[in-house]
Amino acid sequence: MKAIYSLILVLALVVLATLGAGAAKMQIIFAYCVPGTAFVIFLVGFTAKIIGWAKSPVPFRIPTTGGQQQSLDWIAQNKWDNPSTGPQTAMRMLLEVLTFRSLFRNTKVILRHDDGKNPIVAYVSAKWLWLFALLFHYSFLVIALRHMRLFLQPVPQFIVAVEFVDSVLQIYTPIVYQTDLLILAGAGFLLARRLYDAKLRYISLVNDYFPLLLILAIALSGMYMRYIAKVDVMAIKDVVMGLTTFKFKTPPATIDVSFYVHVFLVSTLLAYFPFSKLMHFGGVFLSPTRNLPNDTRMHHHENPWNNPAIKPHSYEAYEDDFREPMFEAGLPLEKNPEEAA
Amino acid sequence: MKLYNGGKIITGLVIFLGIFLAPLAYNVGKAAYTQPKLKMPENEKECIESKDFMRTKHMQLLNDWRDFALRDGTRFYVNSKGKQFEMSLQKTCMKCHTNKAEFCDKCHLDASVTPYCWDCHIQPEGLKK
């Protein structure tokens, strides 16, 4: 049901843009105002969210991450899983961000039976999530880079190279980009696993389905523009360059309405980004189990929310405060009243 | 307002903003973008199909022509007005659009498109640029 709500929401956005830019002729709003506003919301919202997180006190190190911690000299330390210095921690973070090692550790529970038909609970490796998450994220990155051909003039050689590699198979006309297919596979899998697995379906919310369906809709609308509608790319570059150089002009009438749908969906994604789970983009760098070295035995951790006005109060001092009543109650004491006197 | 690890986080935010604002910075101070002006053939006013069709679907047409001419042996194309043309890049298209640099490349460079026509076809020597 939550998946259906999300789907209806995305379809409503598509209809809104189709009617707005198509029937209602509000091309200027959909070409400039909406994406411009969404981009500002994205940048400001993202920054505000990170600053908000930065204000939260840093917790005590969490040393129970995988791998052997630094110990005696003859015990090999697992430096990338349980780092004790800054550079090692940076390496762990880098590998997490670039290769998703946490997802690589994903396991699933299975129930097996031994020869005597006794049930055995086992945890086995489940790499599909890792694989498709990698496909999805890297495809997204390449697609975003490719789009820079519409934002930059002249097009830098680097973007041309990305474009070349992505269309190297030379299939169909216009040439199919591999990442177009891979992002559909990636996002499709991420959606399918939420729908197919009963445990995941139970914990999935509208704000899990909505971004997935939104990104799928963005990918599909983009592919529709390229492979089916065959939109006027030069007219679109004209509009996009107007947006990035702040030299706005009336969008050419030759632009297909699918362009406005695509842009509206992307704008929605940008505006929604800072308020959603998509903030893991910035949040991954602030994960305590990833960015804190295991150096609890080398550095004293001062609890950041401690009140400096409250001084340490030892047990001896406590006993000094309450020695008489404690003695009368028959509690064991370090020093009896006679000894203390 | 106290930030924990403020230095590192602000550095990260500056990098983030830098990356996302880079496209705007790249274009700063440049003249407003205008679509490239193509050098149109002087002796011919009409292309084989309408201007709008050619603008957006010429690659599809060329692709179809290649398949028809090379794979099916069909050598003639009848356009939407019933006029017949030989399916040939060099004999038909390039009869009028003689200069690749002044015509094809203009948009292809701006849109960062690299068609593979010239993987097989020899780009006429005189037109190379």
| Residue A244 with chain B: CB contacts under 8 Å | 23-24, 27
Please report whether residue B36 resides in a domain: no
Q: What is the pLDDT of residue B125?
A: 59
**Region A326-341 average pLDDT:** 87
pLDDT at A337 over 90: no
Tokens standing for A18? 């189709």
**Closest to A123 in 3D by CA, of A139, A131, A111:** A111
Q: What is the pLDDT of residue A143?
A: 97
Q: Which residues contact A99 (CB under 8 A, 6 or more apart)?
A: A134
For residue A255, the enclosing domain spans 2-310
Please report whether residue B24 resides in a domain: no
Q: What is the pLDDT of residue B128?
A: 52
Q: Is A109 helix (H, G, I), strand (E, B) or coil?
A: strand
CB–CB of B12 and A170 under 8 A? no
In this structure, the answer to whether residues A299 and A255 fall within a common structural domain is yes
pTM for the complete prediction? 0.89
DSSP lists the bridge partners of residue A122 as A110
Q: How far is A323 from chain B (nearest CA, A)?
A: 42
Point out the residue among A155, A173, A285 whose CB comes nearest to the CB of B12: A285
Q: How far is A175 from chain B (nearest CA, A)?
A: 9
In this structure, the answer to whether residues A328 and A196 fall within a common structural domain is no
Residue with token string 């309408």: B50
In this structure, the answer to whether residues A218 and A323 fall within a common structural domain is no
Please report whether residue B48 resides in a domain: no
Computed from CA positions of residues A181, A141, B111, A232, in that sequence, does the dihedral angle turn out positive or negative?
positive
pLDDT at A151 over 60: yes
Computed from CA positions of residues A70, A75, A79, A81, in that sequence, does the dihedral angle turn out positive or negative?
negative
Domain containing residue A305: CATH number: 1.20.950.20
Point out the residue among B6, B16, B57 whose CB comes nearest to the CB of A54: B6
In this structure, the answer to whether residues A208 and A322 fall within a common structural domain is no
| Residue B36 with chain A: CB contacts under 8 Å | 234
Q: What percent of chain A has a predicted confidence (pLDDT) above 90?
A: 73
In this structure, the answer to whether residues A335 and A262 fall within a common structural domain is no
| Residue B107 with chain A: CB contacts under 8 Å | 233-234
Residue with token string 């492979």: A227
Point out the residue among B33, B57, B63 whose CB comes nearest to the CB of A241: B33
Q: Poorest-confidence range of A21-30, A37-46, A98-107?
A: A21-30
CB–CB of B112 and A242 under 8 A? no
pLDDT at B96 over 90: no
In contact, B54 and B72? CB cutoff 8 Å: no
- CA dist., res. B126 & res. A54, Å (int): 63
Please report whether residue B103 resides in a domain: yes
Over residues B43-77, the pLDDT tens digits come to: 888 899 998 899 889 999 999 999 999 999 999 99
In this structure, the answer to whether residues A279 and A325 fall within a common structural domain is no
In this structure, the answer to whether residues A241 and A320 fall within a common structural domain is no
Q: What is the pLDDT of residue A157?
A: 94
In this structure, the answer to whether residues A172 and A193 fall within a common structural domain is yes
In contact, A179 and A142? CB cutoff 8 Å: yes
In this structure, the answer to whether residues A305 and A326 fall within a common structural domain is no
In this structure, the answer to whether residues A79 and A169 fall within a common structural domain is yes
- CA dist., res. B36 & res. A71, Å (int): 66
Q: What is the pLDDT of residue B54?
A: 92
Q: Which residues contact A73 (CB under 8 A, 6 or more apart)?
A: none
**Region A236-256 average pLDDT:** 90
B84 in A contact zone (CB under 8 Å): no
**Closest to A282 in 3D by CA, of A43, A106, A62:** A43
Q: How many domains does chain A have?
A: 2
Over residues A291-311, the pLDDT tens digits come to: 999 998 888 888 878 888 988
For residue B104, the enclosing domain spans 66-127
B114 in A contact zone (CB under 8 Å): yes
Q: What is the pLDDT of residue A303?
A: 81
CB–CB of B33 and A154 under 8 A? no
Alpha helices, DSSP H only, in A204-279?
206-223, 233-244, 257-272
Site from B8, B14, B21, B33 to mutate, A interface, most A CB atoms within 10 angstroms: B33
Please report whether residue B49 resides in a domain: no
Over residues B77-89, the pLDDT tens digits come to: 998 888 899 998 8
Computed from CA positions of residues A115, A119, A123, A129, in that sequence, does the dihedral angle turn out positive or negative?
positive
Over residues A181-201, the pLDDT tens digits come to: 999 999 999 999 999 989 899
pLDDT band at residue A231 using 50, 70 and 90 as cut-offs: very high
- CA dist., res. B85 & res. B49, Å (int): 11
Please report whether residue B109 resides in a domain: yes
Q: How many domains does chain B have?
A: 1
Tokens standing for A128? 């599909």
Q: What is the pLDDT of residue A61?
A: 87
Distance (Å) of CA B117 to CA B100, B120, B121:
11, 6, 6
Please report whether residue B104 resides in a domain: yes
In this structure, the answer to whether residues A243 and A316 fall within a common structural domain is no
Over residues A60-117, the pLDDT tens digits come to: 888 777 889 999 999 999 999 999 999 999 999 999 999 999 999 999 889 988 888 8
A250 in B contact zone (CB under 8 Å): no
CB–CB of A232 and B55 under 8 A? yes
Point out the residue among A173, A241, A282 whose CB comes nearest to the CB of B63: A173
pLDDT at A180 over 60: yes
pLDDT band at residue B127 using 50, 70 and 90 as cut-offs: low
Please report whether residue B56 resides in a domain: no
In this structure, the answer to whether residues A252 and A277 fall within a common structural domain is yes
